[in-house]
Structure 1
Amino acid sequence: MTGNILFIIIIAVLIVNFIKEEIISYVNAKHFNDEVPLELADVYDDEAYKKSQAYKLTNYKFATFSGMVSFAITLLFFLLNGVAFVEGIATEITQNQILQTLVFFGIIGLVSSIIQIPFAYYQTFVIEENFGFNKSSKKLFFMDKLKGLLMTLVLGGGLLFVITWLYLKTGANFWWYTWLVFAAFTLFLTLFYSSIIVPLFNKQTPLEEGTLKDKLVAYSNKQGFKLDNIYVIDGSKRSTKANAYFTGFGPKKRIVLYDTLINDLSEEEIVAVFAHEVGHYKRKHTIYNLVLSLLLTGLTLYILGLLLGNTLLAEAFKVEHSSFHIGLIAFGILYSPISEFTGLLMNVLSRKFEYQADDFAKETFDSKYLISSLKKLSKNSLSNLTPHKWNVFFHYSHPTLLQRVLNLKKTRTS
């Protein structure tokens, strides 16, 4: 194989991935007007259904346009020797290989972020605003972008510094030592995400005393679920959309409810959502996801270790020497078919976990309240009730609303 052939393969992978995603989106959009299943007929009234159809179509058109622009920019970057151009800037700034890697990805990351800002702005202040979802101010929007950039610089830059240093110091053992670093970093985020990262963007406060807290505490005690506190996050300062999530494990486990969730649902429905999140803990989904994530990371790093240092990479991107960052950017593209496959497997597993958490809520509380809460949340977010099976298979980490409702109505046979 020559460097030119490798470059053609890289471009081909980019094109095939783009075409695949566009086909899935197009087929999914063709089913926007499918008949709503009888089990979901009560989700929307006529006015809300028309609004949801308009919302889906608007988002599809915008995603198609923004995706084509991003793809065109990415393709031109590679075809016009952008890698060599950025590499030249990095080598002019410093001869230190670690700093070259940081500068190289810093330039690409910064330019990419700047390009994405107008699209994110339009999504937030035009589309989401027009459909009544946006609650964010322009000041908050740009502060979020700045905080995100700084967090990427500190956490991402720090992690990149460490793994580049390990590559230069450990050679063939690079993937093993880097795996240990990623394992420690992943464990740290799992344990402290809600207490360290989330407060940078949102305020979390303990759920105030009252009947809702009494019901949640009573349920958790009944299930033997030890919980020091239940937190409420101020999601309403950005959007009207609601959510809840479970994070951490052991003494660091935490269940967080969005304030919009509390406003949208009845107390019984909130307990049902809470029961679903407790189900994730009781079924050890956090542990399973952590272990699987680390195993996939190990596989990824092992394959990366085999590619790094290949002289064909320098030839493919028309740079003088192959380096860690050149290998990394090529690997990010060439590995995508494998990551697509592992991502599909993780989505299949994730959907299974969601069924298990729903079953736990059904068995320990009441399925009718979880069904009504899911329908309300779908209505309030103008969700697509008729997604195409290809879109579900490739992109959904949760079962569809119809699948979840049918599962929750199913009578146990054992």
Structure 2
Amino acid sequence: MDVFLPVLFFSWIMYFWETYLSKRQHKMYEAVQALPKELTSVIDSKTFEKSRVYAIDKSNYEFWNGLFGQVIMTTVLWFGGLPFVWDLSGAILDKVGLDENNEIVHSLVFALLGNIFSLIIDLPWKFYYTFVVEEKHGFNKMTVGFFFKDLIKKTLVYEAINLPIMSLIIYIVKSGGDYFFIYAWLMVFIISMILLHIYPEYIAPLFDKYTPLPEGDLKKKIEELADSLDYPLKKLYVVEGSKRSSHSNAYMYGFHKNKRIVLFDTLLEDYTPVTRTESMKDTSDTDETGKDSKTEDGHDKEKKKIGCNTEEVVAVLGHELGHWYYSHMVKNLVIIQLNIFLMFFVFGKLMNLRQLYVGFGFSDFQPILIRLYVVFSFIFSPFNEIMSFVMNVLSRRFEFQADEFAVNLGKREQLKTALLKLFKDNLAFPVADWLYSTRHFSHPPLLERLRGMDDVKQKSE
């Protein structure tokens, strides 16, 4: 039986389901206009209103962007876009004197053309989001030149990583025999382990500047916290994320006894980039992104203090160290790898079912790449939805555990104020529809986390 129409029908069912959830959350943005009482000590009504408007603008953007993406996907599939690009790839190879019957090379050209198409149709949306939505609410720090330079660099790095991996998978599927799924999974596992190490060390610095955290009270207290928990901290970095956005973050990475912590400069209340020179301060009226730092009447723009103080940053890292203490990253890694193994195994059972690919325009020849795309993107779609829900539930549980860990370190008040400041700085809306939150939020809503920390404190007293 041709599965093309059922697959397409299910994709629209899922689209309408996601749209329904988003509509519920959008109504929440419009309906909740009063600041929750738990937040009145940190967030003023004006900031709360800004976060509400920001959430509405993002929701509107996501609706139209989602509709556009669904229509494009349906159009491409319905009018035979996949076989058209496959034939075009073969024609290009033939024109440059290469063998179009070499499936791996043919697949690479096909993937490259598809990625270029996606890049082109997504570009106006990315540009609008950055320079209209984010700009309107004061988060964008990029110039147009920086935006395009960053986009080109990301695209080149993505292709440099993705295309060789794709070639290996196709080769393994074609030549691995009945047990190819074991070899494919093993290859993906090894590459993912390598990327987990080399990405933050060698790839991420291609996009943002990483500098060692300067000596001072913050570094001393972070190191003391790590020592008290036997966390093998080797390096502390600050990433200059403020060149592209004022959103904040922090993360840890590294294997075994070689751990690193990275703090975004926007997370640190009093951090000043060490690369800023006195001459820049004295002679330039523009910020580091090239944007005018003065208003039209010549006065300096208001410098809004953002980020967390030393004790709050340490509390945030106490939470992150809770993830390490409970081995949350390892547990997630095990689940993900088991899921990948299972999917490759099931793919092995489905890959030779010709009827899965006929409706997509491949009746005579079914390339391995097309089989992978159809099975992983469409046939596995119901399973992927279930896994996404399960992983969100697990992630939220992990977040509560990490919060409890920080509370038990005596950092409840500092973590609460840090979360409140970060929500304020990022204009995050603190109220969520329960069904939308259950499906989409990997972190519990702010108010739930605050109440959860209070419950931990009460139990310990």
Normalising by the smaller structure, the TM-score range is over 0.9
Q: Is the Cα–Cα contact under 8 Å of residues 36 and 386 in structure 1 kept in the other structure?
A: no
What residue number does 1:22 align with?
19
Structure 2 counterparts to residues 4-403 of structure 1, below 5 A:
6-32=3-29, 33-34=31-32, 35-92=34-91, 93=93, 94-263=100-269, 264-319=307-362, 320-331=364-375, 332-403=377-448
Match of 2:72, SS state, is helix
Percent identity over the alignment is: 33
Displacement of 1:363:
0.8
* Separation in structure 2 between the aligned mates of residue 401 and residue 321 of structure 1, nearest angstrom: 52
Q: 1:84–1:91: structure 2 CA closer, same or farther, 3 Å change rule?
A: same
Displacement of 1:36:
4.2
* Separation in structure 2 between the aligned mates of residue 413 and residue 335 of structure 1, nearest angstrom: 43
* Separation in structure 2 between the aligned mates of residue 41 and residue 60 of structure 1, nearest angstrom: 25
* Separation in structure 1 between the aligned mates of residue 260 and residue 199 of structure 2, nearest angstrom: 10
1:254-300: CA deviation from partner (whole Å, max 9, x where unpaired): 11110000121111101101111111111111211111111111111
The CA RMSD over aligned residues, in Å, is 1.4
What residue number does 2:294 align with?
none
* Separation in structure 2 between the aligned mates of residue 306 and residue 315 of structure 1, nearest angstrom: 17
* Separation in structure 1 between the aligned mates of residue 179 and residue 113 of structure 2, nearest angstrom: 29
* Separation in structure 2 between the aligned mates of residue 43 and residue 182 of structure 1, nearest angstrom: 46
Equivalent pairs, count = 411
Range 235-244 or range 165-174, more displaced: 165-174
* Separation in structure 2 between the aligned mates of residue 83 and residue 225 of structure 1, nearest angstrom: 50
TM-score (norm 2): 0.86
Q: Is the Cα–Cα contact under 8 Å of residues 308 and 323 in structure 1 kept in the other structure?
A: no
* Separation in structure 2 between the aligned mates of residue 296 and residue 196 of structure 1, nearest angstrom: 28
Q: Which consecutive unaligned segments of at least 5 residues does structure 2 have?
A: 94-99, 270-306
Give the counterpart letter for 2:81 in structure 1.
G
**Bigger RCO of structures 1 and 2 (CA < 8 A, at least 6 apart):** 1
* Separation in structure 2 between the aligned mates of residue 71 and residue 290 of structure 1, nearest angstrom: 31
* Separation in structure 2 between the aligned mates of residue 103 and residue 172 of structure 1, nearest angstrom: 28
Q: Is the Cα–Cα contact under 8 Å of residues 311 and 321 in structure 1 kept in the other structure?
A: no
TM-score (norm 1): 0.96
Match of 2:252, SS state, is strand
Match of 1:213, SS state, is helix
Match of 1:309, SS state, is coil
> Looking at CA atoms only, which structure, 1 or 2, has the larger radius of gyration?
2
